[in-house]
Amino acid sequence: MPVGPGSASSAPRWLTSLRGPLEKTLHKVGAEREFGRDATAVATADGDESVPWTPPLHRLQAVALVGIVRTAAVIVLAAVSGMRSSELMELTVGCRRPPEEPVPGLTRYRLISKVIKGQELGGVVDEWVVIEPAFRAVELIEQLHPDPREGTSLLGRFAFDVRYRWFRNWVNSQTGRRLGLASIPADPVNLRRLRRTLALEMAYRPGGVLATKIHLKHIAVATTEGYSSRPGGAQAELLAEINKHESDRNFDLILTEFRNYQQGILPAGPGARELTAFFTSIDGKFDPSTTPIPRTHRNEWDVLNLLTKRAKTLHLGPANYCWFTDPSRALCLKLAGTPAADRPLIGMCDSARCPQATHHPCHRPVWTEHAERTKTFLGQLGRPRKTERTRLQNDYDRAMHIIADIDAATAPEEEPA
């Protein structure tokens, strides 16, 4: 139908002859927006229901959505690779190197870009070792690229702050809520902060500072220069920051466990009795028949002080808390033959047997996953592999035992009849 000046007046004239074809077309293609009409159903992020991944969209809406997805991919890439904005902007289509498997079951993903900061004009080509989500994010950005020829700039120059704001608005809008996405607070987020957060998160882990240096050396060479070549400078600042975060985090954890204890959710594991006795002593509910610690009624400051002191002994294992109060009782140090060390060897932790280990409800998913995985392996083992079967069976039994312990310590006490 002609559209333009006079079309309204000529419409009735054309309508009679066009009605048939129009209705036929309408019947065939419908009146719905053109993109995403038969969108695949996906589970919402909060897991409550399954919805089409997008409602039907007009072309401009589809283009805007591509922008949002690209931003999401950039956020993933920046947050888990720690790359600077200059390094992200140097990525090109085809920057993904074929994944390698140096040891069976362990895949190495690499990206090629350029280090610009501190280098001659034009930068220096370098390689970033990244985890799989970063690698997949680049793959997705390549797929959404309007001109995906090898060597084309992957992201071009972009203003992260603006894009991030659009992305946050989208997530916090009705569209994001429809997909069950948690809303994003208005706190400032930029590439520097993402990079710093990654460094701190890595440094939290046992031996993490060293790992951070090594990891950043692979990921962002120029960053590690600041940490390693200026003793007392950026490195000391980073360490001080890490220590502060670590003590805050430990205090939060012990306070949570103390509150749990007050609600009847007790720790489990070999060190549970000792930790419970400690909580009892500061909670003023001391029972002299079960523990030798003297009861003292303390004010809130005393309690916080005692919790702070105890928090200093806390080390985090992947599936337990380690209360490193006495090196001579540390099973890991005994096994390693270094009983006088001043830190536990979390990598050698045997939390099912060490008297300084406790398990809490937050560790249950780790043990459940471990038990399930072990069960699967057990099911796949051939008959002749008896030694392996016995080892796996013991492993499975141990995991189930720990889960049962956690459940028993978490279950509310039965009300007396």
CB 125 → ligand SF4: shortest distance, Å?
Answer: 42
Among 357, 371, 399, 406, binds ligand SF4 (CB under 6 A): 357
Short-list 381, 379, 406, 378, CA closest to 394? 378
Judged on CB neighbours under 10 Å (0-12, 13-18, 19+), 326 is exposed
Q: How many residues does the chain have?
A: 417
274 binds ligand SF4 (CB under 6 A): no
E strand spans, 34-172: 41-43, 50-52, 96-103, 106-115, 124-130
Q: What are phi and psi of 377, to 5 degrees?
A: -60, -40
356 binds ligand SF4 (CB under 6 A): yes
Among 164, 261, 324, 367, binds ligand SF4 (CB under 6 A): 324
Q: Where are the alpha helices (DSSP H) in 31-125?
A: 59-81, 85-89
CB 293 → ligand SF4: shortest distance, Å?
Answer: 21
CB nearer to ligand SF4: pick between 195 and 370: 370
CB 211 → ligand SF4: shortest distance, Å?
Answer: 17
Q: Residue type at 141?
A: I
349 binds ligand SF4 (CB under 6 A): yes
CB 40 → ligand SF4: shortest distance, Å?
Answer: 46
CB nearer to ligand SF4: pick between 165 and 343: 343
End-to-end Cα, the chain, rounded Å: 82
Q: Give the C-alpha separation, 247 to 254, whole Å.
A: 11
216 binds ligand SF4 (CB under 6 A): no
Residues 285, 296: contact at Cβ < 8 Å?
no
CB 313 → ligand SF4: shortest distance, Å?
Answer: 10
351 binds ligand SF4 (CB under 6 A): yes
CB nearer to ligand SF4: pick between 202 and 345: 345
CB nearer to ligand SF4: pick between 141 and 346: 346
Q: Give the C-alpha separation, 7 to 114, whole Å.
A: 57
Q: Give the C-alpha separation, 384 to 387, whole Å.
A: 9
Residue 53 CB neighbours (<10 A)? 11
CB nearer to ligand SF4: pick between 111 and 349: 349
Structure tokens at 97: 């190197």
350 binds ligand SF4 (CB under 6 A): yes
Q: Which range touches ligand SF4 (CB under 6 A), out of 7-15, 69-77, 272-280, 349-357?
A: 349-357
Which residues ranging from 327 to 346 are in contact with ligand SF4 (CB under 6 A)? 330-332, 344-346
Q: Which residues make up the interface to ligand SF4 (CB under 6 A)?
A: 317, 322, 324, 330-332, 344-346, 349-351, 354, 356-357
